[in-house]
């Protein structure tokens, strides 16, 4: 072997030996499980991490379906009882991708067992459950993180940078929306996301949670009061068994106004009944020095208006957020080459793994997830009482 190759392989082997193994178990294997699986597989291929990521165990209740997912997504083993996974001494990280009704029980057990925990959003189905999860996280030695993946869109992280650096000055208005159309048809079945005992709430918890977190993350301001409306347009849906119908027990849409702790006024709209809006997640933030706009359907762009320029030059410009200097982008493709939805989860996993490596606290934290839960609970309370103003 030529000396230069010998040196290369020697260095490579030394690095492999020095790497600590990080064993991951994922509980839940549906849509979110697929997104998280690819992120765990890819994080070390795009980012510099000092730990070797091992996809050890995937867990779910349906053994036949689970075995297929295990083989397809590259997990070493499968297990049908999450309690066994949490107590497995080989596992370092528990990734929770289940329905909201089980988040608290699994996360608290995992934290007590000394594991690091990544929990999909919303953090829990209730404020009380979220509080218990935060208490467990504070008492644990493991790291904890809630999966608000839209924060990890480079354009949104860049928007947060612009606001934090004072480019917008004092914030006056926040407008946020999350519009989908996947349950408009009355023939769409009664899946778990339409059942309160499993999902906690409908559009409010599923998608409004994202825009609440986004607004607080980008502006650095907490929501302190709300007035809201929720509504269920279709009260009954066909059962998934194909026989009979069942009651829809969550909201189909939620609209609310809010005020922040720094005096900004905000409006939020979340619905799964907006024909033509496949995944229309967006926001506008208006300040004394400028404004920003974002639309996830053009996720590599951020619109920025710098009002400190002369009136002849003031207006929105589209910034293509693909430069190496933009958040996360130096680890992806050359400038002008877009990333997609799946890459936001890889960015998320990178932040968690880096926090574990450096013994720092990852964001979004469980406490930030609890803050979102407080807002959702206040909206529910307001909507149940003729849209009265409710303090968060």
Quick: pLDDT tens for 191-219. 999 999 999 999 999 999 999 999 999 99
Quick: pLDDT tens for 343-364. 999 999 999 999 999 999 999 9
Q: How many CB atoms lie within 10 A of CB 24?
A: 23
pLDDT band at residue 313 using 50, 70 and 90 as cut-offs: confident
What's residue 17's pLDDT?
45
**Main-chain phi, psi angles of 238, to 5 degrees:** -60, 140
What's residue 16's pLDDT?
46
What is the mean predicted confidence (pLDDT) over 302-320?
94
Domain locations in the chain as residue ranges: 3-149, 151-391
Is pLDDT larger for residue 14 or for residue 158? 158
What's residue 5's pLDDT?
55
What's residue 242's pLDDT?
84
Given a cut of 60, is residue 13 above it in pLDDT? no
- The CATH class for the domain spanning 3-149 reads alpha beta
**DSSP character string of 217-286:** HHH---EEEEEEEEE-S--EEE-TTSSSEEE--S-SEEEEEEEETTS-EEEEEEES--TT-SSEEEEEEE
User: Rounded to an integer, what distance in angstroms lies between the CA atom of residue 35 and that of residue 209?
Assistant: 19
What is the mean predicted confidence (pLDDT) over 168-181?
98
User: Rounded to an integer, what distance in angstroms lies between the CA atom of residue 25 and that of residue 302?
Assistant: 35
User: Which pair of structure tokens corresponds to residue 340?
Assistant: 């997609």
Residue with tokens 């998608």, as numbered in its chain: 207
Residue 294's DSSP bridge partners are: 283
User: Rounded to an integer, what distance in angstroms lies between the CA atom of residue 123 and that of residue 100?
Assistant: 8
User: Which pair of structure tokens corresponds to residue 97?
Assistant: 């991708």
Given a cut of 50, is residue 385 above it in pLDDT? yes
Given a cut of 50, is residue 7 above it in pLDDT? yes
What's residue 302's pLDDT?
98
Is pLDDT larger for residue 15 or for residue 375? 375
User: Rounded to an integer, what distance in angstroms lies between the CA atom of residue 124 and that of residue 93?
Assistant: 19
User: Which pair of structure tokens corresponds to residue 286?
Assistant: 């208006």
Quick: pLDDT tens for 77-108. 999 999 999 999 999 999 999 999 999 999 99
What's residue 311's pLDDT?
86
Report the candidate in 147, 120, 116 with the shortest Cα–Cα distance to residue 24.
116
Report the candidate in 287, 292, 283 with the shortest Cα–Cα distance to residue 262.
287
Handedness of CA 129, 135, 137, 141 (dihedral sign): negative
pTM of the model: 0.92
Quick: pLDDT tens for 27-60. 999 999 999 999 999 999 999 999 999 999 999 9
Which range has the worst mean pLDDT, 4-8, 152-156, 231-235, 245-249?
A: 4-8
pLDDT band at residue 20 using 50, 70 and 90 as cut-offs: confident
- The CATH class for the domain spanning 151-391 reads alpha beta
Given a cut of 90, is residue 9 above it in pLDDT? no
Quick: pLDDT tens for 331-342. 999 999 999 999
What is the mean predicted confidence (pLDDT) over 99-127?
97
Cα-to-chain-centroid distance, residue 174: 20
Q: What does the mean pLDDT of the chain come to?
A: 95
What's residue 12's pLDDT?
46
Is the separation of the CB atoms in 264 and 288 below 8 Å?
no
Given a cut of 80, is residue 261 above it in pLDDT? yes
The CA angle 330-332-336, to the nearest 5 degrees, is: 85
What's residue 19's pLDDT?
63
Given a cut of 70, is residue 8 above it in pLDDT? no
Report the candidate in 267, 245, 265 with the shortest Cα–Cα distance to residue 255.
267
């Amino acid at each position: 072997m030529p000396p230069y190759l010998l040196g290369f392989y020697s260095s490579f082997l030394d690095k492999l030996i020095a790497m600590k193994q990080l064993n991951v178990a994922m509980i839940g294997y549906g849509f979110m499980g697929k997104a998280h699986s690819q992120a765990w597989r890819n994080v070390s291929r795009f980012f510099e991490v000092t730990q070797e990521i091992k996809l050890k165990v995937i867990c779910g209740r349906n053994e036949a379906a689970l075995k297929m997912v295990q083989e397809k997504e590259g997990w070493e083993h499968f297990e049908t009882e999450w309690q066994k996974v949490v107590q497995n001494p080989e596992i370092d990280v528990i990734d929770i991708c289940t329905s909201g009704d089980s988040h608290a029980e699994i996360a608290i057990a995992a934290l007590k067992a000394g594991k690091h925990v990544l929990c999909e959003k919303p953090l829990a189905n209730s404020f009380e459950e979220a509080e218990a999860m935060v208490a467990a996280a504070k008492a644990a030695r493991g790291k904890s993180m809630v999966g608000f993946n839209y924060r990890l869109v480079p354009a949104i992280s860049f928007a947060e940078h612009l606001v934090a650096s004072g480019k917008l000055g004092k914030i006056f208005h926040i407008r946020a929306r999350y519009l989908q159309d996947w349950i408009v048809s009355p023939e769409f079945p009664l899946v778990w996301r339409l059942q309160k005992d499993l999902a906690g709430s409908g559009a409010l918890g599923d998608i409004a949670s994202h825009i609440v977190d986004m607004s607080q993350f980008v502006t650095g301001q907490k929501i302190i009061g709300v007035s809201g409306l929720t509504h269920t347009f279709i009260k009954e849906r066909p059962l998934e068994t194909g026989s009979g119908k069942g009651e829809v027990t969550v909201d189909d849409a939620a609209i609310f106004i809010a005020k922040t702790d720094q005096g900004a006024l905000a409006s939020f709209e979340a619905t799964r009944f907006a024909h033509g809006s496949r995944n229309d997640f967006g926001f506008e933030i208006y300040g004394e020095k400028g404004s920003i706009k974002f639309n996830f359907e053009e996720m590599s762009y951020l619109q920025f208006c710098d009002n400190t320029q002369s009136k002849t030059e003031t207006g929105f410009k589209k910034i293509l957020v693909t430069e190496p200097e933009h958040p996360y982008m130096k680890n992806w493709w050359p400038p002008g080459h877009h990333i997609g939805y799946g890459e936001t989860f890889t960015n998320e996993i990178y932040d968690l793994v880096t926090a574990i490596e450096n013994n720092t606290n990852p964001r979004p934290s469980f406490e930030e997830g609890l803050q979102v839960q407080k807002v959702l609970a206040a909206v529910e309370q307001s909507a149940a009482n003729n849209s009265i103003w409710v303090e968060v």
